[in-house]
Amino acid sequence: MELIGLTQERQENETLKRFEIKKKAKFRHKGKEELLAQRWEEEEEEEEEKDEDEEEEEEEEEEEEEEEEEEKKEEEEEEEEEEEEEEEEEEDEEEEEEEEEEEEEEEEEEEEEEEEEEEEEEEKKEEEDEEEEEDEDSVSPSVGQKWSRLMG
């Protein structure tokens, strides 16, 4: 009986050991699953963080590009404005020059007209002087003749 009791006890011990081994194996398996799940979650989080970082970098790059484009546009607009101002200034200068030329031409025309008028006046005076001389010449002898007749 003792033998039977020992065998039974051994069997029970072996069964207990097997049960514990199975239990430990289950715990190990669960632990491994939990570790795997935890690692998988960490990897997913890392990937998500990487994706987020990449998205942020892309957004920053896009913003920088937009800013650069805006700066370029502003510079182009400023250049265009400067060119327009320069063109306007040139046009104004040309207009002023044209006005000055016109004024000079008008002054020259006025001077020419004045000279012509002066010449005409001089010619009239000369004609008048000549007529007076002719009149004096023609009047003088007759007056002279009259005088000589009176005296004579």
Specify the pLDDT at position 26. Answer: 65
Check residue 138 and give its pLDDT: 56
Could you tell me the two tokens for 130?
Answer: 């000549």
Q: Can you give the pLDDT at residue 149?
A: 67
What integer pLDDT is reported at residue 45 of this predicted model? Answer: 92
Dump the DSSP string for the chain: -HHHHHHHHHHHHHHHHHHHHHHHHHHHHHHHHHHHHHHHHHHHHHHHHHHHHHHHHHHHHHHHHHHHHHHHHHHHHHHHHHHHHHHHHHHHHHHHHHHHHHHHHHHHHHHHHHHHHHHHHHHHHHHHHHHHHHHHHHHHHHHHHHHHHHH-
What's residue 108's pLDDT? 93
pLDDT of residue 137: 57
User: So what's the pLDDT on residue 101?
Assistant: 94
CA 47 remoteness from chain centre: 43
pLDDT tens across the length of the chain (152 residues): 566 666 788 888 888 888 877 777 666 666 677 777 788 889 999 999 999 999 999 999 999 999 999 999 999 999 999 999 999 999 999 999 999 999 999 999 999 999 999 999 998 888 887 777 766 655 455 666 666 667 66
Which residue ranges make up each domain of the chain? 1-77, 87-140
Give me the pLDDT at residue 29, please. 62
Supply the pLDDT for residue 20.
Answer: 79
The span from the CA of 141 to the CA of 148, in Å, is 10
Integer distance in angstroms from the first to the last C-alpha of the chain?
219
Amino acid in position 13: N
